[in-house]
Amino acid sequence: MTTFPIDETAPPALDPARFRRLAHAAVDLVADYLAGVRAGPVFQPMTAGERAALMQEPLGKRGIGPEALLERFRTAVLPHAMGNGHPRFFGWVNSPPAPVGVLADFLAAALNPSCAGGDHAAIYVERAAVRWLMELIGFPTEGSMGLLASGGSTATLVALAAARHRAAADDGWNVRTDGLQRARPRLRIYVTQDAHSCIHKAAEILGLGVEAIHRVATDDDHRLDVGALRAAVAADRAAGERPFCVAASAGTVSTGVIDPLAELADLCAAERLWLHVDGAYGAVGAAVPTHRARYAGLERADSVVLDPHKWLSVPVECGAVLVRDGDLLRRAFSLVPDYLRTEIDRGFGGLPWYSEYGIQQTRGFRALKLWMTLQHLGRDGVSDLIARHLTLARHLAALVDAAPDLERLAAVELSIVCFRYAPARLRADDGALDRLNKRVMEDVQISGAAFLTQTTLRGRFALRACILHYATMEADIVALVDAVRDTGARLAAG
Ligand SMILES: *Cc1c(COP(=O)(O)O)cnc(C)c1O
């Protein structure tokens, strides 16, 4: 037998002393960065040269020392962060990373388990963290099952696959063996126009097709109109179609509206429809005692999606899917190849594996950052964090309402505020205001003073500010309003 000499310090190995030095340097870099975020611009666009330097860089034939790599990160990557770490970043529902979550990702990478399943700590950490999520929002823990996913989109795919599986089983066929190739009544899913695009993507991927999606009317506040839904379901049944799922929102991505979940739960129970609740952004609002009543009915959902990487500040990627009937979820996904077959509590077996409940086989240790962030906060900390953002959003709404040149475009239910710059002389001209506000948004983004994004509401361009940074203060809200008004006034004059 020939053996090869191994240099224990050759890449990817690192001499332990050198690793320790590098890790300390990395920690210093990160600590300085986090401490200095507020003083810098929110966002800095990249020059063509900077983009090319990263995109077109060839991979060298020989490796580079990690000290040089750290330096390259410091000069080429760090200065061009997305911006969501800044307390004046109000764009989308992208939160800053909770500092303990940053540490957790480092620790998780050091262990690097696959959380497909087995009898190791990471699995039980995920069990606990997911149960805490259920408890925080009032979702039943007994008999249900939940798991972490890359985000709301994949979590939704898992939930709707379970819904599809149940519908087929109810009708006496198995979608996993038959697929959707045979002629059968069309499965239909009900949403509002404000449903997140991930529902549409899931419908496409699941072979339902976008035409399976029945858009139901909303009331003046953008909430799903239950009467319209009842009529739509009846009409579809009369036409020989197969209604199977209502995908409601607990915090729409556009305005943060919560659909009437209790009424929907009643209707879904009566019609045996799967009630899916997309709470990717907003479900954790149910952790605030004064807000809990708005979520009544959530506890009767068949599935809920929520994204700890949104309002809970767990570093991306961390989404979660909660399913009321855990056994059903397993039937929808379990596929165990011989080389992975284990017995419960024998050898490496442990509990039924996570890989039997979802799409992924190898699964990262996402749970650690959720587990640590939730424990750092505690139940009161979660509630206080969310409540503070609810208050700041109402404050922003009040500032908008008080400003003669601003117009609010939607009610504020959670921490999203939609408005536009609308000086009196342009109020009647939606076209002009659409164009003006798009430029206001772009100029504010480039300015680095604050950052907000857009949505379309009743056909009108709206500036959209999402408040979910743990360090955002009243002064930051004022700065945002000033930035919009100053920019608007300058552009309207020019
Ligand atoms: C963000 C979001 C999603 C999609 O989740 P990802 O984590 O981006 O995949 C779905 N629904 C709502 C309401 C969202 O805010």
Among 113, 120, 115, 32, which residue's Cα sits nearest to residue 70?
32
- Ligand 1 close to Cβ of residue 320 (< 6 A): no
The verdict on the CB of residue 408 being under 6 Å from ligand 1 is no
Q: How far lies 127's CA from each of 21, 326, 449, in Å?
A: 35, 13, 41
Q: Which atom of ligand 1 is nearest to the CA of 251?
A: 13
Which residue, among 84, 104, 94, has the nearest Cα to 376 in the 3D structure?
104
For ligand 1, whether the C-beta of 196 sits within 6 Å is yes
Backbone angles phi, psi at 225, to 5 degrees: -90, 110
Determine the residue of 92, 95, 198, 306 to mutate for testing ligand 1's pocket, defined as the one with the most ligand atoms within 8 A of the Cβ atom: 198
CATH number for the region 113-364 comes to 3.40.640.10
DSSP 8-state code for residue 74: I
Other C-beta atoms closer than 10 Å to the C-beta of 16 total 10
Ligand 1 probe mutation, 92, 153, 193, most atoms within 8 A of CB: 153
- pLDDT per residue over 3-55, tens digit each? 777 787 889 999 999 999 999 999 999 999 999 999 999 999 999 999 999 99
- Where do you find CATH 3.90.1150.170 in the chain? 15-49+73-98+379-494
**Cα distance from N-terminal residue to C-terminal residue, the chain:** 80
Q: What confidence score (pLDDT) does residue 336 get?
A: 84
Give, in order, the Cα–Cα distances in Å from 327 to each of 163, 231, 349, 378: 13, 32, 18, 30
Tokens 């989404």 sit on residue? 319
For atom 13 of ligand 1, the residue with the nearest CA is 253
Q: How far apart are CA 205 and CA 94, in angstroms?
A: 25
Measured in residues, the chain has a length of 494
Tokens of 90: 């109000």
Distance 178 CA to ligand 1 centre (A): 30
One pLDDT digit (tens) per residue for the chain, 494 residues: 667 777 878 899 999 999 999 999 999 999 999 999 999 999 999 999 999 999 999 999 999 999 999 999 999 999 999 999 999 999 999 999 999 999 999 999 999 999 999 999 999 999 999 999 999 999 999 999 999 999 999 999 999 999 999 999 999 999 999 999 999 999 999 999 999 999 999 999 999 999 999 999 999 889 999 999 999 999 999 999 999 999 999 999 999 999 999 999 999 999 999 999 999 999 999 999 999 999 999 999 999 999 999 999 999 999 999 999 999 999 999 998 877 788 887 888 888 999 999 999 999 999 999 999 999 999 999 999 999 999 999 999 999 999 999 999 999 999 999 999 999 999 999 999 999 999 999 999 999 999 999 999 999 999 999 999 999 999 999 999 999 999 999 999 98
Q: What is the pLDDT of residues 274-320, one digit of tens each?
A: 999 999 999 999 999 999 999 999 999 999 999 999 999 999 999 99
**What is the reported pLDDT for 3?**
75
Give dist(CA 277, CA 291) in Å, integer.
17
Instruction: Note the pLDDT of residue 337.
Output: 80
Which residue's CA is the closest to the ligand 1 atom numbered 5? Answer: 152
**Ligand 1 center to residue 86 CA distance, Å?**
21
Give 368 Cα–ligand 1 centroid separation in angstroms. 21
259 in contact with ligand 1, CB cutoff 6 A: no
The atom of ligand 1 lying closest to the CA of 152 is 5
Q: Is 278 in the pocket of ligand 1 (CB under 6 A)?
A: yes
Closest atom, ligand 1, to C-alpha of 309: 7
Q: Is the CB of 93 under 6 A from ligand 1?
A: yes
CATH architecture for residues 15-49+73-98+379-494: Alpha-Beta Complex (3.90)
Q: Going by CA atoms, what residue is nearest to atom 2 of ligand 1?
A: 280
* Of 201, 205, 255, 281, best ligand 1 pocket probe by most atoms within 8 Å of the beta carbon: 281
**Which residue in the block uniquely carries the two structure tokens 């475009």?**
409
Which pLDDT value is given to residue 130?
98
Q: Which residues contact 208 (CB under 8 A, 6 or more apart)?
A: 164, 180, 187, 189
CB distance 95 to 313 below 8 Å: yes
Question: How far, in Å, is the centroid of ligand 1 from the Cα of 153?
Answer: 6
Q: Ligand 1 centroid to 433 CA: how many Å?
A: 28
Question: Which is the closest atom of ligand 1 to the Cα of 93?
Answer: 15
Which tokens belong to 398? 């009040």
Kindly give, in sequence order, each residue whose CB lies less than 8 Å from that of residue 133, ignoring residues fewer than 6 positions away: 139, 146, 306, 308, 320, 322, 370, 374
CB of 280 shorter than 6 A to ligand 1: yes
What separation in Å is there between the alpha carbon of 253 and the centre of ligand 1? 7
- Span(s) in the chain for CATH 3.40.640.10: 113-364
pLDDT at 2: 67
> Would you say the CB of residue 187 lies under 6 angstroms from ligand 1?
no
Q: Which atom of ligand 1 is nearest to the CA of 154?
A: 9
Residue 118 CB less than 6 A away from ligand 1: no
Please write the tens of the pLDDT for every residue from 424-465.
Answer: 999 999 999 999 999 999 999 999 999 999 999 999 999 999
**Ligand 1 neighbour 319 (Cβ under 6 A):** yes
